[in-house]
A and B are shown apart, each in its own frame.
Chain A
Amino acid sequence: EVQLVESGGGQVQPGGSLRLSCAASGSTFRRYWMHWVRQVPGKGLVWVSRMNLDGSVTDYADSVKGRFTISRDNAKNTLYLQMNSLRAEDTALYFCIRDLSGKDDYWGQGTLVTVSS
């Protein structure tokens, strides 16, 4: 059974950094594009970033471009999101998703990031 477990969230001051991790179970991690989507509690869903199978292709939402970096380690079945220069508006629940918009679409439970002084 697939499991995606996000970690690394927490409270950070504006301008600070956090690195989120998403650990995937099973041996199929390397076969999928991986994505991050965020959601302010009680609000809608916002796509953040994606990475292809071998890490050679990345895309970002304009709101995070230049501040966030997506990466993956296929040997460790783990996806990362390095978040720098954090702002109050980055406060959200961050979901890791396998194969977004595909037949094997699957979401983790999310990790909460709070940017506040």
Chain B
Amino acid sequence: DIVMTQSPLSLAVSPGEPASISCRSSQGLLHSNGDTWLDWYVQKPGQPPQVLIYLGSNRASGVPDRFSGSESGTDFTLKISRVEADDVGVYYCMQGLQTPYTFGQGTKLEI
């Protein structure tokens, strides 16, 4: 199974400040079709997870451009350029390259 390792596991950021969450996969997530099968989700309190970034760097519909995803080999980063109060929640990375799909441990973002 592909192991996904996130850091940090918790993060406290002031409104307007940037935030960065890292995720490392135990093997490459590049598909033969050129897509990188790494996604970022946020789970806000009391809600199901919702996708922020899919295929490494594509923002999902309705996601503000404050959120961006990048990759370097097996290292992936979610960046929030300016944190807002509504960004509170737990952020997960997930690999969808092969089954079983696997998630990182989650990073709790507090404001």
Given A47-B101, A59-B99, A102-B54, A108–B94 Cβ distance below 8 Å? no
Given A45-B92, A110-B48, A105–B39 Cβ distance below 8 Å? yes
Are B100 and A61 in contact, with the CB atoms below 8 A?
yes
**Cβ of A88 under 8 Å from chain B:** no
CB closest chain-B residue, reference A35: B101
Per-residue interface assignment for chain A, residues 84 to 117, with 1 indicating a CB less than 8 Å from any chain B CB and 0 otherwise: 0000000000010000111101011110000000
**A106: min CB distance to chain B, Å:** 8
Are B49 and A107 in contact, with the CB atoms below 8 A?
yes
Are B100 and A62 in contact, with the CB atoms below 8 A?
yes
CB closest chain-B residue, reference A47: B101
**B110: min CB distance to chain A, Å:** 16
**Cβ of B51 under 8 Å from chain A:** yes
Residues from chain A with a CB closer than 8 A to the CB of B49 are: 45, 95, 107
Per-residue interface assignment for chain B, residues 62 to 106, with 1 indicating a CB less than 8 Å from any chain A CB and 0 otherwise: 000000000000000000000000000000101010011111111
Question: For the complex, what is the distance from the CA of A102 to the CA of B53, rounded to whole Å?
Answer: 10
Question: For the complex, what is the distance from the CA of A32 to the CA of B6, rounded to whole Å?
Answer: 29
Given A44-B103, A47-B101, A61-B100, A101–B48 Cβ distance below 8 Å? no
CB closest chain-A residue, reference B61: A103
Are B54 and A101 in contact, with the CB atoms below 8 A?
yes
Per-residue interface assignment for chain A, residues 39 to 53, with 1 indicating a CB less than 8 Å from any chain B CB and 0 otherwise: 000001111001000
Are B60 and A109 in contact, with the CB atoms below 8 A?
no
Residues from chain B with a CB closer than 8 A to the CB of A61 are: 99-100
* Chain A residues within CB distance 8 Å of chain B: 35, 44-47, 50, 59, 61-62, 95, 100-103, 105, 107-110
* Chain B residues within CB distance 8 Å of chain A: 37, 39, 41, 43, 48-51, 54-55, 58, 60-61, 92, 94, 96, 99-106
